[in-house]
Structure 1
Amino acid sequence: MFAIVETGGKQFRVEEGRSLKVAKLDVQAGSELTLDKILLVGTGADVKIGQPFVDGAAVQCEVVEHGRDKKIIIFKKKRRKDYRRTQGHRQDYTTLKVKSIQA
């Protein structure tokens, strides 16, 4: 069984037992979390599509850890104008492990 979940303004395809990195959530590591914005739930050919969300569907997750992603570098340059700007960014994330999917 799989589901399409919306969290942090992004959509993720989740399955039972899998882990995923989402934008940082304000939840303690080791605690349980229920995601209720389910856009699609299905197994093979049996698929339920929400309008916009599937009623009664939920995904139970365990919060594994919080962390920071690798650094990305933003570099801007305009040739022959002596213009260079460098900026770095590290995104905070939360790792979730999917326990179960209720449809």
Structure 2
Amino acid sequence: MYAVIETGGKQYQVNVGDILFIEKLDAEADANVTFDKVIAVGKDDGLAVGAPYVDGASVAAKVIKNGKSKKVTVFTYKPKKGEKRKMGHRQPYTQVKIEAINA
């Protein structure tokens, strides 16, 4: 059984036991979170697709940790003007483990 969930403006296909890096959630480590925006649920007898979400479906997960990804260097410049700027960015994330798919 698998599910397609939406969180942080992105969609993820998840199975029980998967570990995901998603956009940062407002939850501490070892907290339980529930994703209610389930777009589709795939079972042995077929696929249940919502319009836009499947009624009564949810995905339970446990937060493993919060952190920041590796630094990305952003360099902007304007040619022939002597204008340049170097910046770095570290995107925050939340690592979760999928524990149950309730359909």
TM-score (structure 1 length as normaliser): 0.93
Equivalent pairs counted in the alignment come to 103
Matches within 5 A, 1:1-103: 1-43=1-43, 46-103=46-103
User: RMSD between aligned alpha carbons?
Assistant: 1.3
Q: Which runs of 5+ in 1 are unaligned?
A: none
CA distance in 2, matches of 1:72, 1:44: 42
TM-score (structure 2 length as normaliser): 0.93
What whole-Å deviation, never above 9, does each CA across 1:37-64 have from its counterpart, x for those lacking one?
A: 0011103671111100000111010110
Q: 4+ residue runs of structure 1 moved beyond 6 angstroms?
A: none
CA distance in 2, matches of 1:44, 1:50: 17
Local SS of the residue matching 1:75: strand
Q: Which residue identity lines up with residue 26 of structure 2 in the other structure? A: D
